[in-house]
Structure 1
Amino acid sequence: MAAEGPTREEPPSSAEGDRPVESRRAYESPLRRQQAAMTRERIVATAVEMVRAFPTWDWDGLTIRELARRAEVNESTIYRYFGNERRLRDTVMHRLLEEAGVDLDELRLENFADVVGRMFDYLSAFPTPTPTHEDPTFVGIDERRRGALVAAVSTAAATTWSPGESELAAAMLDMFWHVPTHERLMGTWNLDRERAVRAARWAITLIETAIRDGNGPGDPDPATDGD
């Protein structure tokens, strides 16, 4: 029997086979792109939901494994869209800023107060962090400190301030007495002690001057608000 020669592959007999492969791929690609975009959006939306449930900005729980489970996709799918966990978190942070209406490229000193206001409105939807210290000693000294600040503001104010207005001014001063402020100035901004103290003194002096000039935050007394 003579050896069979190499066989030639016959073209598909179906009507679809009459179209070039490139044509079929071009025809199908919009649908594939739409499906890919929907999958990517589901992953990002699920990640944002996870972050919103965290009591702090500690994102240790935002792992690719846990995200894949909640978004009902394979871990490889997340890696395909984002490459690694860092890029995933960057994407989530960008989405959070978008939802808060914050555009860092458009940040100006004159609109910074509005930006902070939008951030506070947005963050108010997140779980309230549990106080760091629940020990009666720390709770007690914190209450005394806040009371002393409110009394100091009320005493120094050029005019009679409402309790609400004094409390707001005292709350701003309290930020410089708070450990996280110290950590951010010296850790994040890499300020040494002298520069950190100089910056804090400058800001406190501005607030003190406003208090003595009667230029308060304008918060009405809750007891008389709306009268």
Structure 2
Amino acid sequence: MSIFTYHLVKTSYISALKAILLSLKPINTPGLIHAECTTVMTLGSAVFSPSRMLVRQVAVFAQWENEAAIDHFLNKNSLGKIVAKGWHVRLTFLRQWGAISEFEIPDELLESDAPDAPVVAVTLARMKLPEIPRFIRWGRPVEKLVRDHPGTILSLASIRLPRTISTFSIWKSQKEMTDMVRGHSAVPQPERHADAMKERERKDFHFEFTTLRFKPISEFGEWNGRTNFIPDSK
């Protein structure tokens, strides 16, 4: 079974630009199935705020044939050596909604039946460019909901211009995440996510969109001065 990783690193402007422009390719990265390299954004920040797009911070979401390929990338690949200075989590697939090209998503669902188990959620969307203003209108309230939710341990967004947008979040428990999705959380305006999904069903913002749910299996390194984001991950 393949394994997924999510990496975060703060680096120089030049290294960050190279990571985005010269994306990882399976042809020159042994064991890589597909990777998305994006620029980190602050969830819920104003569109034209300096904190909206953090150009020195890079996120890499990747699928690998096995863990040996991940280790080879981090130790031998030029971008991998930069990424290795940050933080990453290794993930096993649980469930998918929607569809996205290039990744090889398993057909079977491996949904955990443990509502108290921590989970990681990744969304990945290819935007319809004329729909971006409408997407921002509906999306920013959801960003604030996820950012401020007591069930999240770490949450962020990222972008690869002109049309790829992604989010990443670590949740204390599967139940807290699903309650948020369904609008059942005990927070102000809990229906923000559910309302945005209804609007997407009415008229889609994207030509490709998926939400992926994962079981975190291990984490490495440090992000923003912190380690051990995953509960009971030791």
Which TM-score applies when normalising by structure 1?
A: 0.21
1 or 2, which has the higher helix percentage? 1
Structure whose alpha-carbon radius of gyration is higher:
1
Instruction: Report which of the two has the higher share of strand.
Output: 2
Which of structures 1 and 2 has the larger relative contact order (alpha carbons within 8 angstroms, sep 6+)?
2
Provide the TM-score with structure 2 as the length reference. 0.20
